[in-house]
């Protein structure tokens, strides 16, 4: 079964840092782009970042550029999201997703919750 499992969420103070992880299983991880998508409480889905198969290309939403860093370890089948200088508006459920060959996000994790509050 193709599966993504996120971890690393929690409560952090404004200005703090957090690293999210997403462990993949059931498919050849290195064949796929990987994405992070977030959803603030009661709001819609927002793309955050994505990373190419070998990690050489990364893209970020303007709202997180310069603060968040996406990376991956294909040996560990894991994608990461390092989040620095966190703000209250970064509070959200963060989903990890696979960029499928059909130009879609075809596998999703269950999400991990990040709360930025003092």
Partner 1 sequence: EIVLTQSPGTLSLSPGERATLSCRASQSFSTTHLTWYQQKPGQAPRLLIYGASSRATGVPDRFSGTGSGTDFTLTVSRLEPEDSAVYYCHRHEASPAFGPGTRLEIK
**Under the rule (CB under 8 A), what is the footprint of partner 1?**
35, 37, 44-47, 50, 59, 61, 95, 99-100, 102-106, 108-111
String of DSSP letters for 71-115: EEETTTTEEEEEE-S--GGG-EEEEEEEE-TTSSEEEE---EEEE
45: CB partners within 8 A, 6+ apart:
37, 38, 39, 95
Farthest CA pair distance, the chain:
42
Give least dist CB 107 to partner 1, A.
Answer: 8
- For the bound state, the minimum distance from the C-beta of residue 66 to partner 1, rounded and expressed in Å, comes to 16
Cβ 100 to partner 1 shortest distance, Å: 8
Query: Which of 17/57 has CB closer to partner 1?
Result: 57
83 vs 96, beta carbon nearer partner 1 = 96
């Amino acid at each position: 079964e193709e599966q993504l499992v996120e971890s690393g969420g929690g409560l952090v103070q404004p200005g703090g840092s957090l690293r999210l992880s997403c462990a993949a299983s059931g498919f050849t991880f290195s064949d796929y782009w990987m994405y992070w998508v977030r959803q603030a409480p009661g709001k819609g889905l927002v793309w955050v970042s994505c990373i190419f198969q070998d990690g050489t290309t990364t893209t970020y939403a303007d709202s997180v550029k310069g603060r968040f860093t996406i990376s991956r370890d294909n040996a560990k089948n894991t994608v990461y999201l390092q989040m620095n200088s966190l703000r209250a508006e970064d509070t959200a459920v963060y989903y990890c997703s696979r960029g499928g060959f059909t130009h879609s996000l075809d596998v999703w994790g269950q999400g991990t919750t990040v709360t930025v509050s003092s």
